[in-house]
Amino acid sequence: MNEALTGTFRLLRQVNGVGAYATADVEVRIDPSGTQPASSSLDLDAGGPRLLDEEREAALSGAQDALGLLAPHDARLAHAQVIVKRVGINDADTEPSAIRAATAAAVADAVGMGRNFSLRFDNGWKFSITENPSA
């Protein structure tokens, strides 16, 4: 039976006196009998903000990076499809690595690994997961 999981994340931080903002809503479709490799796509709400190409690419990159990071801890993700449904930005405080990180964190939230997902700023937003997410 196919499963559709939803996740959301809002990155709202202050780093060295500069604001950072991005939000993401995703749907992760799990197909236990799938044969296609894991993938990501955009299906953005018409009412959402207009995104630049680099922002769209950052959202897709975050989804793909999350699949690669999380798949060793959750076999269901080997054939999962991530659909990015919404990306929220602020012209003053959003840059591509924030979108990438927010999207990846939303994927982790969808599959129940959000508590094991951490963000840090190091010349752009980076993310990681604990070695043993089930701990």
Cα 115 from Cα 79, distance rounded (Å): 23
Give just the sign of the alpha carbon dihedral 38, 50, 122, 120.
negative
Q: State pLDDT tens for residues 75-128.
A: 999 999 999 999 999 888 888 999 999 999 999 999 999 999 999 998 889 999
The structure's pTM equals 0.91
Q: For residues 87 and 11, is the Cβ–Cβ distance under 8 A?
A: no
| CB atoms closer than 10 angstroms to residue 42 | 16
Q: Which domains does the chain carry?
A: 3-129 (3.30.230.10)
Res 135: pLDDT: 45
pLDDT in tens, 14-52: 877 778 899 999 999 998 888 888 999 999 877 777 888
